[in-house]
Structure 1
Amino acid sequence: MEKRVLILAFLFIIISCSSSSNSDDDNTIDDVTVNEITYTASLEVISNPERGFMHSWSVNSEGTPLNLVTLNSLKNENVTIILRLYYLEAFKDSDLSTAQLDLIKTDFERLREAGIKCILRFAYNDDQSETDAPLNIIQTHLDQLKPIFQDNADVIAFVQAGFIGSWGEWHTTTNNLTTTENKKAVVNKLLEVLPEEIKIQLRTPLYKQEVFDYTTAIDASVGYGSSDIARVGFHNDCFLASPDDYGTYQNVTIEKSFISNEALFVPTGGETCPPSGIPTASCATADTEMALLKWTYLNLDWYGPVLNVWRDNSCFDDFQRELGYRLLLKSASLQYEANSNENFELNLVVDNAGFAPVYNKKNAFLIFKSTTGETTYKKALDFDVRKVIPAVNYELNESVSLSGIPAGEYNLFLKIEDSHETLANRPEYSIQLANSNVWDSIEGYNKLSHTLTIN
């Protein structure tokens, strides 16, 4: 009897040791619980906010507001942004009228209704033989505009500095406004009256260097902040038009490098001009320059012959895709199961195939949508979409709390929505990722092609 007991005990020890030696096999089983996903990039032209080809529409003092039907039709051109240029020629020595302020308010209401954003500029003339306004009038007008800016920040993408000289392009002033002191006064006033999240754009890199008295481009430690210098970018209204883009650059190589570095954080955009002294820019030249300078928007209305060269040579659609940001999922590693009240590990690789990053802050969420109904749960992410820069893989790794989400099966989505509460639930203001079969246009969600079981 004792001998049999000893044999059984010995066998139990062997079996226990054998079970312990299979721990590596358990890890293999665990690996199966992770879904390794490779996403397919799309060639679709995507109408994402605050980027792309835009239309430019100017209006004289107390003129006609934007046409809502025309704004609604822009989606057929994949246009989500316009330049709105207000000429204040009737107010060079007086306050803005109620009719003028109402015109601007009406425009913002119609932009919001149509799902469009605008780039703003103000000027006092459209002819080099005419006068602009003195500094004190500009400052008074900006004080009048401040409440409108505050109320409509949600549909303002960027603001071009304007106000000084013909077309607001900071030349041909009749009021001595192109001194460093006066340029600085206009910039400081703009930064004061505009909401902190809105970036402005100056006509040349040298203007910014003069205003802020520096020459070394800002880096990430400054660029993602809210200081004045981090709120100022560039617009070039004679892009690809001459060796120095009609005086945009003084030292072309150095200043282009300066913009290239700063444009990781502040926007660049504008329009072309009739070429002078150089051939019309080829597709290859335009692509190289827009990638270097991180162009985020370009005027469809000027200069037509340059744009037609790109249309005729089959690169116009490429530029429609690449202007600004073009975010896409590359891969994911997502667990199939998780326990309630614990964390879900979100592991995504995101790329940016566009010329530029996102410049305005967005709110990102992981969406859990029940497979048995329409119930959804929304978990905020720390993901700062502005940091997905062109041609560099971004690893989005976050632990997401499942607290408050009942047990069940959920399809997962990524939502990147506008930071303004007024637009957060508007899908046309959310970012669509450039992947095949991921976009939910009703909700503004991007499908992660993964189902999670919460136990």
Structure 2
Amino acid sequence: MAHQHGASSDSAPPPSTRTRKPHMRMERRRLLTAALGTAAAAMVPLATASPALAAGWQRVPHRGIRPDDPEGRAPLANPRRGFRYEMSYNAIDLTSPWQNEADHSPDAARTLDLLEREYGPGANLTQLYFYLWDFATSTIPQSALDNIESVFRGLRRKGYAAVLRFVYDDGVRENRRYTVQDIQRHIGQLAPLVARNSDVVAVWQAGFLGAWGEWHGSYYRHETYPDAVTAIMTTLVDALPPGMHTQVRYAEKRDMITNKAILDRVGFHNDYVTLGEGEWDYYVPDNPGWPSYLDVTPTRMVDGEMPWDKGQSADPYAWSTVIPGVPAARRLQTLRFDSLSLVHNATVTVPAWKAAELTERQTADALLPVSDGYFRGRDGRLVARTQFEYLRDHLGYRIEVREARYDLSGARGGRIPVEVDVVNRGFAAPKHPRPARLVLLDADGRTAASADTGADWRDWRPQGRAETGDDHSGPKVTTVRGELAVPSGARGRHRLGLALPDPAFPGKGRAVRCANGSVTWVDGVNVLAEMRLGG
């Protein structure tokens, strides 16, 4: 996340990963709205009648993504989940606070191009810091707000979303003497801007307080007073766009919030993921906050990063021991992580993950989810993945269609009943609301009919947590049901699909692609079956 260039001004909680920006390269891939592309998927399976179904119903089974599918080892880039990059701007002029980010451009799209080259493409999130040091005790000028909005536009051009944090103190310049009222005023200024751009904001972290917004070492120590914490967090949660969450770093800080009505929007970010090694990873079973982490993370956004390594930073908190991939996956899955930095520990741990094979047996033995066909070639033989691939593909949600069913006999009455079975093979449930919509496409790919199913995809829960006594037999199958109204005169070839669009930005927001090698992708629609209407 942020970058530490000097000692913290306060010896209280640590700077953790807040060291200098790393300079080594890493591998990873970016969004493609057609992440597997139509060419990457097999033809849509033909429907078959099943004696187990009522007369007239057709069933179309589906499978997951195999490693030898076209693009089968490429990342499936979906919104608000997965690996992330990091970028920082001074709001006053869009320079970076860090000398080794001097090559970062005020044009966020160009900076993301640079990060893709530096760390490898594939992430579709980025930690995004805006430093408000120059305006800590005054009103943010319109010029700075315009600068912030221009960065959001750059993210949109590239198809990225931000893990967003606003900060005053950078650990280099002297700490600013902002009050609770200053923070509340700034939240009020920033809220309309974030709302206008919420299609490119995955989560708005609490930030503001202390060095790098980590809630330690602020001049007036607001982060140590429950009344101050409650006032700030109430203002922030009230400012969040519908469906968006915020995050704090530690359970003890969340527990200080006395306004319990806002807690359903407050998740966590762990800025020192070491699996309990070192002093500053509190997300471990013997920590007093562990029950809170288990309770909160299934339904609230969770982000994390490892420390910088010693090849990236001379900071005393740098970490140069490989963090083992399978135990890391178990911890991230247990605590329902949605995102993880690709930038941190990029010269030690991430290369080790990329070099280490992961097998189907190792994954199952670790009580981790095994996606359909993920470790199997088309011939059914076992294929090893890497630990890096597995983490990349399973952070957050991973929605897989198991089967689609429909009854064309109802079309004569103007309606087609449809059922779709889905499972979530990821580490976490989806945590942002969006509709689950059935779609009928004509031969030219135009929408002929659509119907909201009323299903809440946030209920598509993942497999039980690896480090607890949960049921580990696999994720529950959920059936989505609805009826499509057949347009008058509709005839010929049509396609049935499932769409999971961005509800606030239906025209430009990013839809969710299902993790299936047998499902094609047409303008944000997962195409599940082909049919002929009108005889």
Normalising by structure 1, we get a TM-score of 0.82
- The Cα of 1:278 is off from its aligned counterpart by 11
- The Cα of 1:125 is off from its aligned counterpart by 1.6
Q: What code does the residue aligned with 2:190 have?
A: L
Query: SS of 1:382's equivalent?
Result: coil
Matched, 1:33 2:56: yes
- The Cα of 1:274 is off from its aligned counterpart by 5.3
Q: What code does the residue aligned with 1:394 have?
A: V
Query: 2:449, 2:485 within 8 Å by CA — same for their partners in 1?
Result: no
Corresponding residue of 1:354: 426
Query: 1:206, 1:249 within 8 Å by CA — same for their partners in 2?
Result: no
Corresponding residue of 1:69: 110
Structure showing greater relative contact order (alpha-carbon pairs closer than 8 Å, 6 or more residues apart): 2
Corresponding residue of 2:338: 296
Question: Which residue of 188, 202, 205 corresponds with 1:160?
Answer: 205
Bigger radius of gyration: 1
Matched, 1:333 2:405: yes
- The Cα of 1:190 is off from its aligned counterpart by 0.7
Distance 1:87 1:70, change over 3 A: closer
Per-residue CA shift, 1:42-99, capped at 9, x if unaligned?
Answer: 1442010111111110112413234323446859722211111011111222221222
In the alignment, structure 2 segments of 5+ residues that lack a partner are: 1-49, 67-71, 95-105, 310-316, 357-385, 464-474
Normalising by structure 2, we get a TM-score of 0.71
More strand by share: 1
Query: 2:62, 2:402 within 8 Å by CA — same for their partners in 1?
Result: yes
Per-residue CA shift, 1:377-428, capped at 9, x if unaligned?
Answer: 222221211111113223224231426454434320111100113xx234x7
Corresponding residue of 1:219: none
Query: 1:244, 1:250 within 8 Å by CA — same for their partners in 2?
Result: no
Distance 1:238 1:62, change over 3 A: same
Q: What code does the residue aligned with 2:256 have?
A: E
Corresponding residue of 2:122: 78
Task: Write the mapping of 1:161-310 to structure 2, written as runs, cut at 5 A.
Answer: 161-178=206-223, 179-212=225-258, 228-240=262-274, 242-243=276-277, 246=280, 248-249=282-283, 252=286, 255-273=289-307, 280-304=322-346, 305-310=348-353
Q: Which moved more, 1:337-346 or 1:263-272?
A: 337-346
Distance 1:375 1:343, change over 3 A: closer
Over the aligned positions, Cα root-mean-square deviation in angstroms equals: 2.9
- The Cα of 1:201 is off from its aligned counterpart by 0.5
Query: 1:128, 1:172 within 8 Å by CA — same for their partners in 2?
Result: no
In 2, distance between residues paired with 1:72 and 1:303?
20
Question: Which residue of 177, 184, 193 corresponds with 1:148?
Answer: 193
Question: Which residue of 429, 441, 446 corresponds with 2:510?
Answer: 429
- The Cα of 1:134 is off from its aligned counterpart by 2.2
Query: 1:340, 1:405 within 8 Å by CA — same for their partners in 2?
Result: no
In 2, distance between residues paired with 1:362 and 1:376?
21
Query: SS of 1:230's equivalent?
Result: helix
- The Cα of 1:446 is off from its aligned counterpart by 0.6
Q: What code does the residue aligned with 2:462 have?
A: P
Query: 1:432, 1:446 within 8 Å by CA — same for their partners in 2?
Result: yes
Percent sequence identity is 23
Distance 1:117 1:274, change over 3 A: closer
Query: 2:416, 2:486 within 8 Å by CA — same for their partners in 1?
Result: no
Q: What code does the residue aligned with 1:103 have?
A: N
Query: SS of 2:85's equivalent?
Result: strand
In 2, distance between residues paired with 1:306 and 1:46?
22
Q: Which moved more, 1:303-312 or 1:165-174?
A: 303-312
Q: What code does the residue aligned with 2:519 have?
A: V
In 2, distance between residues paired with 1:235 and 1:320?
18
Q: What code does the residue aligned with 2:524 have?
A: G
In 2, distance between residues paired with 1:398 and 1:56?
40
Task: Write the mapping of 1:316-331 to structure 2, written as runs, cut at 5 A.
Answer: 316-331=388-403
Per-residue CA shift, 1:26-48, capped at 9, x if unaligned?
Answer: x9697463223321101442010
Q: Which moved more, 1:56-65 or 1:402-411?
A: 402-411
Q: Which moved more, 1:139-148 or 1:328-337?
A: 328-337
Q: Which moved more, 1:60-69 or 1:408-417?
A: 60-69
Matched, 1:414 2:498: yes
In the alignment of these two chains, the number of paired residues is 413
- The Cα of 1:339 is off from its aligned counterpart by 3.0
More helix by share: 1
Per-residue CA shift, 1:192-229, capped at 9, x if unaligned?
Answer: 22223221011112221221477xxxxxxxxxxxx522
Query: SS of 2:305's equivalent?
Result: strand
Query: SS of 1:238's equivalent?
Result: coil
Q: Which moved more, 1:30-39 or 1:172-181?
A: 30-39
In 2, distance between residues paired with 1:126 and 1:103?
19
Distance 1:375 1:303, change over 3 A: closer
Per-residue CA shift, 1:412-449, capped at 9, x if unaligned?
Answer: 0111100113xx234x7110000014132x51111112
Matched, 1:103 2:147: yes
In 1, distance between residues paired with 2:52 and 2:278?
62
Query: 2:275, 2:331 within 8 Å by CA — same for their partners in 1?
Result: no
In the alignment, structure 1 segments of 5+ residues that lack a partner are: 1-26, 215-226
In 1, distance between residues paired with 2:148 and 2:188?
14
